[in-house]
Structure 1
Amino acid sequence: MDPNTFAGLKRLSAGGIDIDQPKRLKTDSHDGAAEGTNSRVDPALPKEKNISRRRDAAGWAKSRKGKEKDGKNTGRRRGLRQDDPMSEGQGGSHTEDQTEKAPRLPKRQCALLIGYCGTGCNGMQIQRDVRTIEGVLFEAMVKAGAVSQDNANDPSKVNLGRAARTDAGVHAAGNLVSLKMITAVPGVPDIVAHINAELPSEIRVWGYVRVQNSFSARLACDSRKYTYFFPTYLLIPPEPGGKLYQILHQQATSDFPTLPFLEDSHSFWSENEISSTRESDLRRKRNWRISTDQVTLLRESIKKFEGTHNFHNFTVGRDFSDRSNQRHMKKIEVSDPAVYGDTEWISVVLHGQSFMLHQMRKMMSALVLSCRTGTPPEVIDEMYGPRVVNVPKMPSLGLLLEHPIFGSYNDKVTKVNENLQPTDAEYRPPIDFDIHRDAMNNFKQKHIYDNMRAIEDRDGVFDAWMHTIDSYGGNDLLYLNPKGIIPAAAVIKIGEKRTKPLKDKKRFDATGFTDTSKVDTFEEEEEDTVVDKARLAETEG
């Protein structure tokens, strides 16, 4: 029998109903019908003939003109938590005894200007099951009503993003997060003060501004300013007799004349007591003061970082050929040294378009190590080349994000605002950290600078880091030589095992310790790992 004839007999026997057609069809999304609808897409018909049969993501037909309302999906709203028994649309339409849901308050795309001390947090970006700056901030905003309970379980529902992602323990006088927030909460005259009341004192919201709906904190940011602080005693040359001293001394052959730091007559070590200890040496280091010539050398060497370069040796997980290694450093400045307590400190301000993971800490390490060993600044030029070398990370303790910069965005909204008044709904103010400068400076002094110096005074973090460098006797640091070149013995070959690799200590990623012994007793090493390149972009900032 002809198949079409057979199909017709079956429809007749069922009273005109096609008994082969299921009551509910599940179709692929590209077919245009939502799962659970009784719309059918006939593949035999032209595509445009099927459009009217499609339903949207809520189960409604895309056009219901002339159709009777059937009450389907009454009260349904996208984005609600399915585990919330008070969510609208649960179990069909509302009943009279159902508790009335709180009214929905309008959300606005905003830029939130914040500052924080990173001690005790596992970085900036929100993560599951660990304490982070964004995690604490988001929870406080939920409690303050700036984020609704409907969105409390998922920050992506309010498009949470950040201008700069700081590492674990790193501080920020100014950073920016963007999100859709509720700016007008009933009974709350000042939403910023209300959020701050829910935050610990080491995390502050300076203010917020309405931004354009397309605003992205990371993409709209033109550049970032960071500061790195360190005690000047790090510039004291390696101690004679130490492992680093010995390996560099062996490197000083006829091609490498004796380095100045290899001379036993260096003023600091020549005055060393015979029965000295690390504690007594540290006391002497804190009383040591940098010379004018050494400050000049720092300023000359740091200029090697300015401009656009391939920073593949100053991060992790990047190949020399990766285009993303090209980063532009706008300006880098070395301040005059200043004494706080017994210790002399110096700061370096780095203004760059963007920074890769660990880039600043490795840049500062290359600067300090080359200057303290008398290595010419040209070694930094060598590090932009294809050869891979091991540049250790400086401690996180000295790193501070000053603030991100949004010059291009501000120029854009300035043009938009030409014919508008600040009271107009379409008006968008510029992003300006300077209007909060006094509050930011007071916060930096109390929660960042004082905290940083207290930890160094108590634990000697920078001295402990330098001790691990001076105790290394392998080949990884042989680029610290008077010619400023990278010898073959210091080159790392991918896939080739090294005999004595220099490994970073995880303890120097922390910016606070629970007791005075932890900095010396926590000896866990950071193993070489393969980094997922797809996630590296999220670590930049």
Structure 2
Amino acid sequence: MSSAVKRVAEDDIPLDAKRPKTDAEVDADPVPASDVQMGEGDAPHPPQAEEAAQASAAAEDAPVASSSGAQRSDKKPRGVPDPNSKRSQRKADKGRKGKDDWGRKGKDGAQQWVDRRRGTRPEDGTEEGEQRERTPRLPKRLCAVLIGFCGSGYNGMQIQKPPAKTIENELFDALVRAGAVSKDNSDDPVKVGLKRAARTDAGVHAAGNLVSLKLITTIPGVTDVVARVNEELPAQIRMWGYTRVTNSFEARQLCDSRKYTYFFPSYMLLPPKPGSGNYINLQKACEDSPVPALDHPFWKGHEDDDIATDLQRKRAWRAPADKLAALRTTAAKFEATHNFHNFTVGRPFQDRSCMRFMKKIEISEPAVYGDTEWISVMLHGQSFMLHQIRKMMSALVLSVRNDTPDSVMDELYGPRPIFIPKMPSLGLLLEQPIFESYNRKAAAASEGKQAEDPEYRAPIDFDMHAEEIRAFKEKFIYANMRAVEDRDGLFDAWVRHVDDYTGQELLYLNPKGTVPTVAALKPGTPRENPFREKRRFNMTTFDEPSKDESEDEEVETPLAKGAKGAKLAETEG
């Protein structure tokens, strides 16, 4: 044997070959492929690995020449690292960890190994290489799913961890049960890229909303995917249809605008009852120039009537033409671009995201249902912030009933922070998100193509489901809205709550259309005698009339408790 020994480069030796194997690893060594029948999913050892292993063995067995010329077998060759050294062990450990396993630092600052690929590894004790039953892989395509829902009893639109009950939780589970989402992806909606066009708040209804996700559109044994999914959904959530979209589709980013409707009984336009806190404040504000609100015929001779008698008379009242005209004139002040920082929570005047563009505000002719006359207001805006619509409606209704000039709206857009109560959630409805720009691009790209063409993209169109949506709104949304109002008088309770307030925060509801200094909030200073909102006005359904109001109060803080910036930025209504 030649005394010269071929040196083996460190990089050519596999990491597992450079360190001694443990007893467990020796026992777990696979039987050579020549001794067993190779399975379908098994792969032979690559020749490079065998050569490297042989070279490693040769390096370990070969004698090494000493400096005196004698051969010694108890020393390692120069340049070959000691596999038992700490450095070699660290390299081996790092080599065994894949990039997907590297996690963030823990609370104690120590690095953690975390499997980021959620749900892709066996959790039932199945060893690698064992055959596991898997559902057949069916092709999935990015689709826009058109839905509608009655939000009563739900904690908003976006999916949340149990026990929170949300619209997306119900929808995703139904898609899994129907086979439109595979079992392999059923543990995490992120795997199918679930996103939404409008993130509605708790209790808010939607005649139309849109979620996008990778959907299995050809399900074995299912001829109508929409009907199959609706079988798995509760009756108050409906899937109207779906359409294939481009791979770059972003539901929220590509939504050009949203349409909402707010419904309220017309009796809310009646002026405050004589003797109430609102009436007294209004009386003080217009000592020099009396306004019609202080001498309204509705209240003459009925100043001492009880709440039930008042409500019965209110429901029989019909809004006159001058009130409707004032309502439309003031509503027009919302149109165009304004700073709506006073119409949401947690945002200062300097926040550029408070600049919102309202395309159109329309007020319908009143309609009578049962004993009550209702008015609907359509708000078409590019986007909305948390509580924005409810605060817009509050400023609109309260200013008209107090004979406040529409110039007060300009004050509310100004830099001073001003408190605006929220109207009840019960009247709010998302009509639909609108995708005009996307539809134009999709039409141009699909020009000349047939619907069967894989490259064809149909427009996102809620109008083709108009009849189904109309019937759904009447049965599940309008009927619930009227039933709650008829039974509980919720809107009347809200108006009386506003009129009972005797503090200074609503003094801008005066006949001059200006905001007194004492009515503006002072950042960093505790509010004196703040207006206290009621939690029940955030609800949209009630199992029985609420009688215990001892824990019903909530105080609006600059940043809603538990709400993070991302949620405030995305939640609408």
Picking from 128, 132, 145, the partner of 1:112 is 145
User: Residue in 1 aligned with 2:275?
Assistant: 241
| Whole-Å separation in 2 of the counterparts to 1:505 and 1:159 | 37
Query: Structure 2 counterpart of 1:103, which letter?
Result: P
Picking from 333, 347, 362, the partner of 1:333 is 362
User: Residue in 1 aligned with 2:81?
Assistant: 18
Picking from 473, 476, 479, the partner of 1:447 is 476
Equivalent runs, 1:284-433 vs 2, <5 Å: 284-433=313-462
The percentage of counterpart residues that share the same residue type is 56
The answer (yes or no) to whether the contact 1:507–1:522 under 8 Å persists in 2 is no
Q: Secondary structure at the match of 1:25?
A: helix
Q: Secondary structure at the match of 2:432?
A: strand
User: Residue in 2 aligned with 1:172?
Assistant: 206
Q: Secondary structure at the match of 2:554?
A: coil
User: Residue in 1 aligned with 2:292?
Assistant: 260
The answer (yes or no) to whether the contact 2:257–2:433 under 8 Å persists in 1 is yes
The answer (yes or no) to whether the contact 2:144–2:243 under 8 Å persists in 1 is yes
| Whole-Å separation in 2 of the counterparts to 1:267 and 1:251 | 21
The answer (yes or no) to whether the contact 1:141–1:195 under 8 Å persists in 2 is yes
User: Residue in 2 aligned with 1:437?
Assistant: 466
User: Residue in 2 aligned with 1:125?
Assistant: 158
User: Residue in 2 aligned with 1:36?
Assistant: 96
Offset at 1:13?
2.6
Does 2:302 align with 1:272? yes
The answer (yes or no) to whether the contact 2:153–2:541 under 8 Å persists in 1 is yes
Q: Secondary structure at the match of 1:119?
A: coil
Show CA shifts across 1:338-382 (max 9, x none): 110000000000000000000000000000000000000010111
| Whole-Å separation in 1 of the counterparts to 2:395 and 2:449 | 50
Does 2:487 align with 1:458? yes
The answer (yes or no) to whether the contact 1:79–1:150 under 8 Å persists in 2 is no
Q: Secondary structure at the match of 2:226?
A: helix
The answer (yes or no) to whether the contact 1:175–1:401 under 8 Å persists in 2 is yes
Picking from 513, 523, 530, the partner of 1:494 is 523
Q: Which has the larger radius of gyration?
A: 2
Picking from 188, 194, 208, the partner of 1:160 is 194
Query: Structure 1 counterpart of 2:134, which letter?
Result: K
Q: Secondary structure at the match of 2:429?
A: strand
The answer (yes or no) to whether the contact 1:464–1:520 under 8 Å persists in 2 is no
| Whole-Å separation in 1 of the counterparts to 2:361 and 2:326 | 14
Picking from 190, 195, 219, the partner of 2:229 is 195
Q: Secondary structure at the match of 1:351?
A: strand
Show CA shifts across 1:285-308 (max 9, x none): 000110011111111110000000
Does 2:520 align with 1:481? no
5+ residue gaps, structure 2 = 1-65, 68-72, 103-114
Gap change, CA 1:35 and 1:471, over 3 Å in 2: farther
User: Residue in 1 aligned with 2:119?
Assistant: 80
Q: Secondary structure at the match of 1:13?
A: coil
Does 2:257 align with 1:223? yes
User: Residue in 2 aligned with 1:535?
Assistant: 567
Offset at 1:91?
2.2
Gap change, CA 1:102 and 1:512, over 3 Å in 2: same
Show CA shifts across 1:200-232 (max 9, x none): 100000000011111111001000000000000
| Whole-Å separation in 2 of the counterparts to 1:117 and 1:107 | 29
User: Residue in 1 aligned with 2:244?
Assistant: 210
Query: Structure 2 counterpart of 1:136, which letter?
Result: E
Give the number of equivalent residue pairs.
484
Q: Secondary structure at the match of 1:347?
A: strand
Offset at 1:527?
4.7
| Whole-Å separation in 1 of the counterparts to 2:145 and 2:233 | 14
Query: Structure 1 counterpart of 2:370, which letter?
Result: G
Gap change, CA 1:116 and 1:213, over 3 Å in 2: same
5+ residue gaps, structure 1 = 1-7, 28-33, 38-54, 60-75
The answer (yes or no) to whether the contact 1:81–1:153 under 8 Å persists in 2 is no
The answer (yes or no) to whether the contact 2:151–2:206 under 8 Å persists in 1 is yes
Q: Secondary structure at the match of 2:543?
A: coil
The answer (yes or no) to whether the contact 2:385–2:570 under 8 Å persists in 1 is no
User: Residue in 2 aligned with 1:511?
Assistant: 540
| Whole-Å separation in 2 of the counterparts to 1:302 and 1:430 | 32
| Whole-Å separation in 2 of the counterparts to 1:458 and 1:323 | 43
Gap change, CA 1:380 and 1:35, over 3 Å in 2: farther
Query: Structure 1 counterpart of 2:409, which letter?
Result: I
The answer (yes or no) to whether the contact 1:330–1:351 under 8 Å persists in 2 is yes
| Whole-Å separation in 1 of the counterparts to 2:539 and 2:101 | 48
Aligned CA-pair RMSD: 2.4
